[in-house]
Every structure is written in structure tokens, then in C-alpha cells.
Structure 1
């Protein structure tokens, strides 16, 4: 499952993302730079810093600390698009942010992971994500997305037909991957579930809150704030699990992402109802101001 199943599962998820993308999704970033810039600053700088503070506060063991930092460095997951649609967010902004984040993560994820490994020193025999392993991250993240975009460019009808089945398969695969990671590390999980559950739930709540309140404070429209909230708050746990187990070869390193991946669904769902009520009241003002 680790050597073949996990990369294949993530590849299918990222292929599904590519099937929904066009070059216009990247160009759209230039049309609404304010919301995108705020989201990227929160995603790439603010949240890793907050996660680092939480890790120190909770005094996690070194391997789990690195796992949390790797989770914080992961881009938004495709599940964010589903939640944004459910709670009336700006889907186009979600798609654009996911596209940009996935590209940037090829650089930032290895950098943040290497910083965490150097700081917490969980391994005695390796220095972190070296260039060869960073290339693996590139292949895992971007090649399936590029393949999906090529399919959509030259065979758009086929891409449209495959969009829904691949989305459904992605959700099923996500659940299976997380369940497999939990099952294969059950004893480790039982030993650390209390501290991991608390810190992952807290990090998820903070991520969602930052993703909503910071854009609203900067006068970003309500629907865009809902989109950035889920894009920032729902991290790609599957990517973190794949890199931990397949690239770095550590099952324990994947535990924070596995626990987060389970609890995130419930936290994000409850948060969505909370902000939908608030955004529904403020939407006319946001539309008028824009």
C-alpha cells in the first residue's frame, strides 16, 4: 500500500484536479489579486508559523512535530472545492488557489519540511528532503495535474465525462488512504491520539478562522472569504501521508495528517454552517462595496 497504493491514489486525486483546470484558472489570479495574495500569505507564512507555535506549545515528539509541520505546508485539498460549493463560496477562486498552491507547494513543502527536520531532529540517519526526493514531490504533485490539464485541452468532452467519476473516486480514495494509514499505525496512534486529536482539531479551527476573518478584515467579499477559508483550512492530508510514507519512509511521520484527515471533515462541516449564517447576513454589504 505504501510503495504503490499511496502514490497511485494521490495521482488519481491530482489527475482529477487537472481535469477541472484550464490556463484561464491561472490567469484569473490576475483579475482578483487581492484575495489571492491574502490567501497565499496566510497559507504559506502565517499558518506554518502558527503550527510551529502549536507544536512547541504541545511539546510533541520530534517525528510528530515534523508531521504537523508537513501538514501545515501542504496545499489546500480538492475537498476544499466541495465544501466551498456546499457553503456558497467562490468556486472559481478555490480552483485558482488550488492550482497556484499546488505549484508553489513543490518549492515550499520541501523547504518547510527540511526546516522542521533540521529543528526537531527526528532522524539520525537522514537530513531531510534532498533534491532527488524534492523531485519526487514535484512528480507526485504536478505531473498528474499536467496530465489532467492536457486531457482537458485536447479531449474536453472526455474530461467532462470523467470529472464526476474521478471526483467520487477521489473522495473514496481519500477515505481509504486515511483509513489505511490509521489502521497500519494503530498502536502508534493509540499512544498519541489524545495529543494529536487536540492539536489537529485546534490547527484546523485556527486555519479555517484565519482563512475567513483575515480576508474579511481586508474587505474581501464574503463569497471569496468563504472560498479562502476552506482553501486554507482544508489541507491536503493525502499528500502529507504520501510524502511521509513513500518519500521519507516513515509511517509515524504520517500520523498527524491521518488524524487530521479524519477529524477535518467534521470540523470543516460545522465551521461551514457557522460562516454561512454570518456571510448570508453580510453578503448584500459585500456585494454593494464591490
Structure 2
């Protein structure tokens, strides 16, 4: 079977060279005996809609979307899932019966990674750091796990407050980073981009106790600055975002192929690749 006769998938982005999505999906396909060809495609900043249209004409079946096109993908979709609508962004497109269907699998990828790491979400008290797109995309899937509360902390309080109002759920509340150290949480999720620039979200160190699970959506060759700091404050369990990356890809794959792939082999392979690169 040639590459041309395989079902075609893409990831669109700019930049895109660093994307590990083709590796991830080809391992999924091999493990689950699915015949697909998945490639990454660099798209001009003003060329996203044309790239999608061209790919559909080439009989493309679906695509992932990364920065900076997730909002454009939302606008381009004929149908949206509830989680994509509330996230305000689309990272997974399916082309079915002449329609573009938009979904957002980031939040479900996070939830599945937390559960895989035996993090208890039901009745938990969650502190979500940041009120940007990354935070927005995970609130609905987290709420589905029936936590006691989700507190959204952001440098600009009004932005956190605005985000919470979109969900109209009494369990979701807002605060600034100067959150009182008297608060207790079971899980702290860093959804800011601080770790990418070696920064820390300015939250009180007293919030970190041995029982608090600390999760960073960012991952790298070594622990992120936030997770290093959390460990220094005494956190027993810290988790980076590599499993979320693989988890969101697994949800996309299951949407397209009707098969839920195993994530463990892929996480292990990527972790090994990162260590070799270090």
C-alpha cells in the first residue's frame, strides 16, 4: 500500500518543524494496525483556510491544528463540540460528509494523563494557574470529573473572572496570583507559559505541601522550573505535560479512527528521545 492510498492526516502550524505529532500518530497506527499517513505542514500566517481547503480536496480525512491557528480553525468549522466552543479554540478537525467538524482534545488529554498518574479528581480542590487559551481549554473536561472546586488564578484578576463567567458554574471561581496562603488545594495545574521562559508563577510557597500534586502543561528534557520549585517546597508528586501531549493526540486519533490507542509506549518512546537529546 503506497503512502498516497493511505488515509491522509496533517498537523498545521507555524512554526511546525518541532512537532512530534507525526511520530505519535504513526506509533498509534502501528500499535492499533491502522493504515494512515500523517504529515506536518508549515502554513503561511494568512494561509490557513486555503491549506485546509486544499487538503480536503486531496481527500484528507482530518487534521490537528497548533499555534497560531486554533482560533481560525474554530471559525472555519461547520460544527463544534461543546468543549471546543467553550475552549474558544479547535485543535482537531474532521472532514465528514462535506462538513468540517471542530473539536478540542487538550482538556481530555490532560484529564486522561492525570488519571493515568492516579491523581484523584473527584471532590478535589484544583488551582488552575493562568487564564489564557491553555486554561480555557481544560475547564470543561475537569468539571466533568466532578471536582469540589476549580480556582482560576491569574496575574490580571479581571481576566480570570471573565473566564469563570463563561462557564457559569459555582464551582469555578477566580482570584489573583496573590491568593491567600490559607487556601488548601489537592492539585495545582500550571497553565501559564512561565516555564517556557524559565519564570515561575508568583504564588505563595505555602500553597505547596507534600500532598499537593503539581502539574505543568509544559514539558522538556528536564523538569520545568515550576516543577523544580514545587519539589523544593516539598511536593511529593510532580508531573510534566508530555503525557498531556500524547493524551490529546490519542483522543484525536480515536475521533478519526474509532480506536483508542495505548499511550504508554508512546510516552516512553518520547521520554527516551528527550533524554537522548539532553
Structure label with greater radius of gyration: 2
More strand by share: 2
More helix by share: 1
TM-score by length of 1: 0.29
